[in-house]
Every structure is written in C-alpha cells, then in structure tokens.
Structure 1
Amino acid sequence: MSDSRLSEAVELSFGRHETFAPRFGWLHKAYMQVKHDSEIFHREDAPVLLGVGKNMVYSMRHWSKAFKLTKEHPHEDPSYRALIASPTWRARWLLDEEGADPYLEDTGSLWLLHWWLLSNDTEAKCWAPSWYMIFNLAPRSRVTSAEMTSFITRYVHENFEEKDWPAGESISRDVECMIKMYALDQEFNPLSPGSFEDLLMSPFRELGLLEGQGKGKERAWRFTNGSRSNLPAPVLAYACLDFAARSSANAGSISLARLAQDPGSPGRAFRMREPDLAKAIESLVSDHPDLQIVSALGQSSLAFSKAPLPLAWDILDAHYGRVREREGFPTPQEWTKKYPALDGNAPKRTRKKMPQQVEALDLIEEIA
C-alpha cells in the first residue's frame, strides 16, 4: 500500500479541527477578519471578534488554511513566535463582500471548496490528509468508522517515518469529523457537546456525498456515486482543468479515465464515474470554443486548446458573473503585493521550544 506520491500530496496534519466540521458563515467571517488583522487567530478577543468559542477559533484557523483561503507565515517581528495568516487571492475572489459567493449560497461553491480541500496544487499541499486518503485512495465500498480509521493508519504507517506518525486518537477524530461534515443522516448523540449543532451546521452535507446504513455499533457509511445534479458543469470543468494542469501547463488533453480514476482527480473527489463525468461536462464542452471531447482507440479525452489553469479560471469566473472584471478587483500580482508573504519567499524560522502552558496551536509550525 506504500505510495511515494502521498508524501508529495499531503501535509501530515491531523486533528487540528478541534472536532468541529466547518460551519455556515465561518469561512467568510474568518476571511473578513484575516484581511484586516493577520494576528486574529492569536488575539485574546478572537472569540468575541469571530463570534465563536475559543476551540472554534482554532478550528476556523485550521479550516481557513485547509481550504487554501489563508497561508500561514512568520511574523515580521522575530520575537512573535506564532505563525500569522494572510488571505489568499482565491479567498478574495470567493469570499469578499464583492466576491463570487461570500455566503456560499450556491451549492457549486461548496463543491469548489471541497475540491480545494482535497487538492495539492502549486499553492499548497492538502492539509487534510485523512480526507485525501479516504476520498482518493480508499476502495469505493461501504465502511465503518473503525475501518476508515484503520485504513488511514495503515497508509500513514507505510508511507511516512515513525517519528511523524500521529496519535491514533487524532485519526479517529478526523474520521468522526469527516462524518459530521458530509453525512446527511447522522445519529444525534445527547452526551456529545455540540452534537445537535453539528447535525445542522455543516453546509457540506448538501453535497450528498456520504450516507449511513444501519444503527449503533453496526452503523456503516457509504460514499455515494452519481451524476451530481447540484454540481455546476463549470465547477466540474474547472476541477478537470486544474487537475490536468498538474500534468502539463500547456494546451493538450487528458483522458476521461484519468479524470475519473486517478488519485487526486475530480472523479475521486466528487465520487463520479467516467460516464457520469462525461455527461456532466458535455453541454459546457459543446458550447465552449477551447474545449472538446475527442475519442481515439476506444478512449475518450478532454482536449483544451489553451493552457489548462488560466482556462479553468476563465470558465469558473464566467460562471460567477466575471468577478475579476469588477471595478477594483485585484489581480493575483496586486494581491501578493498587498500581502507579500503569499509569494512563498517569506523567511522560514526554526521551531523554538516554549513553556508547556502555551496553547499548542500557538507554537511555531514548520512551513512547507
């Protein structure tokens, strides 16, 4: 089960969500605060400013980074030991008050965020390794939460050095959080604080990706497959081209089989088989001058006549009303000029030891 590509795709970050799945309003609220204050997640009054409990502040920090809406980096002041955050350009594009969908009212935005969560791209690896492994590497079959935990544990043990292995409880918490995040038919646990709120507050349940079967200890989970009627074709096409860009930055093609089956592919992330994926993007492709589905030697491919990543953003931006053409909207270069640490050239600092009473999430973390 060893796969050298896994270490290239994910950061070993487990249990940072504090057991909370992302909730309605969290990402927009975090973006709006980070935009004005890079130290927001470390402020004593962060719970008041963000309107959540202290542990939820840590969770919001994690999810903002995991969805690639923030990038963390050292403070300009070397005496400031914790990593601070800058909002990414894609966060500006999606979540700003003048952005594409700040309150995530379009289900397509949730699919887009789900794609960003699982992706490893030029900006960052996947910061949710348990999610990556379950969606991209696990068999498409019914599993219990214990089996998901066991699967992730085995993959980690076979692909990473022992010194980097997380505690078993961290992986178990990831699985529990994943179920809270996606499952429509969860069982309410009256002994678990926040259990009822979790049933109501995760917008990603709308994707219909996970359903339960059975009850109690025998309860199992099945990741659904299908045509995904609430997944807009432009969002799917964006994901396909974004995935293709990792193979080539230039015009070309990619087989629908790869788009449906490869680890890290849209088919894996969205749980769509090749026929469903082809049918879902057919109408968009037929009307778009730079896209075409071609067949040769019994294999169908998505062909693109422009560089895939810029084309992906053109298609996505058009779906949301051409956000980038709105007055005052910054280019990626202008945004990086405003937040210089986003360019990846910020100096790295060595992890320093601190007293045990300091909150663990306030310690310096190594930057990838």
Structure 2
Amino acid sequence: MSDSRLREAVELSFGRHETFAPRFGWLHKAYMQVKNDSEIFHREDAPVLLGVGKNMVYSMRHWSKAFKLTQEHPHEDASYRAHVASPTWRARWLLDEDGADPYLEDTGSLWLLHWWLLSTDAEAKCWVPSWYVIFNLAPRSRVTSAEMTSVITRHVHESFEEKDWPASESISRDVECLIKMYALDQEFNPLSPGSFEDLLMSPFRELGLLEGQGKGRDRTWRFTSGSRSNLPAPVLTYACLDYASRFSPNAGSISLARLAEDPGSPGRAFRMREPELTKAIELLVGNHPDLQIVEALGQRSLTFSKAPQALAWDILDAHYGRVREREGFPTPQEWIKKYPGLDGDASKRGRKKLPQQVEVLDLIKENA
C-alpha cells in the first residue's frame, strides 16, 4: 500500500466532469439555481435553466461539488432516490450577488477555488483524485499525458483495493480534462467535442500553472513554479492557516518547509517552494498581530496566536471587503438552519418515511 495518505485525502471519483473543464460563469450560475432548487441537476428542464447542454449539466454538478460549493445529501422524502444538493456557506460567501466575488473577476478567487478543489477538510475530502495525485504526489519533472496517466494509476492501485480501481479510460479522460483546465498553450483538437470552447472558456488558465512543449503524441507538460504575482498574499495566507488547522486546531505553529512540501500543502497546490512562499506572506505576517515567522534550530515556522481556521477566514474576509459584516449575511449556523441537508446527521433524522415504512414501524411498536 502507498504511504501517500491518498486513501485519507480523496474520494474515489473519476471522469464525472464529462470531459468539460469548468467554464466562466458555471459556478455562479449553478449556485444561484441550487440555492432555490435542490433538485435542479435532476430536472428535465435543467439544460434550459442553466443554459448548457445535458452533459454540461452533469459537469456543472460535478464541479460545484468538487469545489465544495455544494454538498449532496438524501432528499427529505425517502421516495426520491437521487441525492439532491444544497449550497455550502462558503459558496454563499463567494458567489452570491452580494458575496465576495460572484463573477470571479479577481484572479485571487480562482486561486482560492483551486485550493478548495485540491484540499481535504472537515467538510469534505478531495473529489478529484487525479488532480490530487498530479499536484501533490507526482514528480516535478516534465511529463507526457501518458506518463501522468501512469502516475495516477500507480498511486490509485497502491492505495485502494482492486475492486475500487477505475477504468484506465476514466483516468486518461481526467488527465485530458486537467490539461484543458490549466494549460495556457493547448492544441486545438477538431475531433474533440467542445475543444475550441475549452481553449477560450477555462478561467483557471489565468493561473499560469501548466505549460506545454512540442506537438502531438510527444508533447510534454510542465507545471510552472516560483513566485506568483497574481496570487494575493491574503489568499495564500488563508491556505497556509487552513492547512495548519488540520494539525493544530488551536494556537500553535507549523514549519514553512511543511507548508511548502507536504502532500496536500499550499506549496504543492500553488507550485511554490519555501523561499517563494515565505517571501509572498512575510509582509502580511509582519503587519498582523496574531501571526509571526520565527526561526529556531535552523527551521523557520509560521506561528499563530489564535485558532488558525478562524484566523484564516478573518484574513480572507478582510481582503474581500469584510463580506461577513454586511447586513443580512448569515453565520454558518444560520445557513445550516436554512439548508438542513448540510448537516448530515440531521438530514438522515429528518427524512420523511414512505407509507409502507411507517406501517412496518407501527407494527413493530405494537408487538414490542
């Protein structure tokens, strides 16, 4: 078995994107529909309401869940077999009309979504294991698409039982989609559905994470690294504290080396080594009363005098104009009351029983 912690970090989900990378406007549009109709992705008129093709509806559903903007759960009516979706509080914070950046005009918001996509937290694991492997576990060298597929396959086979392995074609489609999503210099394939649109409409290409060299089957890909001029320090600091909160929920510290190199860390997700990561956050840290970079025994660490998760959101929210302080903005607890499906235990307790289920329960009680 692998020592990569892949089993703990991801849900086994492959190819759910229907070959479509997330496009401009999709996440906001999906959020606005889901907050009013939890069944939207199952409706026959969903393509009309969302303004996309049928396969794209499936893709929008996948990406909304993968970015942790929706959470799927059983319908309150047990006769409704499919899982329905509720918008998460972070989706309300980011994508509502009075949210932080509903139309993702700030490149920092794309970096934030990229972090949410790859991260594992208390709410959900990573729903794109192929992405997790490539960013966190694959070598930092130049690779072909076939080599990416091979690396993902190896890690999945080492970490999971054979009965859970995906088809090789599913992993290959993941690699193709990942390249569509991030590569600045893609090749247009006239035989691939939506290929030309993907060239124009994938906002995550703005991050400049992936570049290619050569043509055709011999084309190789390399993830760029170094300083990220379009990555705001508050977004990076948020990711660092968010990551630190998984190991230290209260005040404490984490080494900058871990923040840069650990699987699942910001340094891996953003492709930044320790010197670049340190330089990017040190000005913000130096001006913040609850943060400090200290050095001991030749190792530099980020220390935080408050709970890192709360501190992370304070810093992020301040960067976006203090969204949480706006009139009528709900707390996470108020949001769960509005969408009880977000509370997994309450959702199960609150499901309405089918008539035959009620009858069986009554009989059991009568004969008890």
Bin of the TM-score, shorter chain as denominator length: over 0.9
> Structure 1 counterpart of 2:336, which letter?
T
Match of 1:153 in 2: 153
C-alpha change, 1:259 and 1:4, in structure 2 (3 Å) is: closer
Give me the whole-angstrom Cα distance separating, in 2, the residues matched to 1:112 and 1:220: 27
How many positions carry a matched residue from both structures?
A: 349
How much has 1:344 moved relative to structure 2?
Answer: 2.1
- Listed as ranges, the gaps of 5+ residues in structure 1 are 350-368
Partners of 2:280 and 2:209 in 1: how far apart?
17
Question: Which segments of structure 1 move beyond 3 Å, counting only runs of 4 or more?
Answer: 346-349
Whether the 8 Å CA contact 2:211–2:224 is kept in 1: the answer is yes
Task: Provide the secondary structure at the position in 2 that maps to 1:36.
Answer: coil
Q: CA deviation at 1:347?
A: 5.3
Q: Is residue 226 of structure 2 the alignment partner of residue 226 of structure 1? A: yes
Q: What is the correspondence of 1:304-319 to structure 2 with a 5 Å cutoff? A: 304-319=304-319
The structure number with the bigger radius of gyration is: 2
1:356 is aligned to none
Q: Is the 8 A contact 2:4 2:137 kept in 1?
A: no
Structure 2: which amino acid aligns with 1:149? T
Give yes or no for the alignment of 1:12 onto 2:12: yes
SS in 2 for 1:211: strand
Q: Where do 5+ consecutive residues of structure 2 fail to align?
A: 350-368
Amino acid in structure 1 at the alignment position of 2:326: R
Deviation by residue 1:30-79 (Cα, 9 ceiling, x = unmatched): 00000000000000000000000000000000000000000000011111
Distance in 1 (alpha carbons) for counterparts of 2:81 and 2:4: 33
Cα shift at 1:233: 0.1
Q: Which amino acid is 2:131 matched to?
A: W
- Between stretches 221-230 and 191-200, larger displacement belongs to 191-200
Check conservation: 1:73, 1:346, Cα contact below 8 A: no
User: Which is further off, 282-291 or 16-25?
Assistant: 282-291
How do residues 169-208 of structure 1 correspond to structure 2 at under 5 angstroms?
169-208=169-208
Identify the residue that residue 128 of structure 1 maps to in structure 2. 128
CA distance in structure 2 between the partners assigned to 1:249 and 1:191 by the alignment: 50
User: Which residue of 1 is the match for residue 100 of structure 2?
Assistant: 100
Counterpart residue number, 1:354? none
Question: What is the 5 A alignment of 1:4-43?
Answer: 5-43=5-43
Match of 2:286 in 1: 286
Spell out the pairing of 1:60-139 with structure 2 (5 A cutoff).
60-139=60-139
Determine the C-alpha separation between the residues in 1 that align with 2:246 and 2:195.
39
Change (3 A) 1:4 1:232: closer
User: Quick check: 1:292–1:303 contact (8 Å CA) kept in 2?
Assistant: yes
Counterpart in the other structure of 1:55? 55
Letter in 2 for 1:68: K
Once the two structures are superposed, what CA deviation does each residue of 1:143-191 show, in whole Å capped at 9, x if it has no partner? Answer: 0000000010011111101111101000000000000000000001112
Distance 2:346 2:25 in 1: 30
2:270 corresponds in structure 1 to: 270
Aligned-pair distance for 1:346?
Answer: 4.4
Q: CA RMSD in A?
A: 1.0
Q: What one-letter code is carried by the residue in structure 2 that aligns with 1:317?
A: D
Question: Could you say which residue in structure 2 is the equivalent of 1:324?
Answer: 324
Q: Give the 3 Å change call, closer, same or farther, for CA 346–148 of structure 1 in structure 2.
A: farther
Cα-to-partner distance string for 1:185-240 (whole Å, 9 max, x where unaligned): 00011121211100010000000000001111110000000100000000000000
What's the % identity of the aligned pairs?
A: 89
Q: 1:343 offset after TM fit, Å?
A: 1.7
What is the rounded CA distance, in whole Å, between the counterparts of 2:271 and 2:20 in structure 1?
A: 24
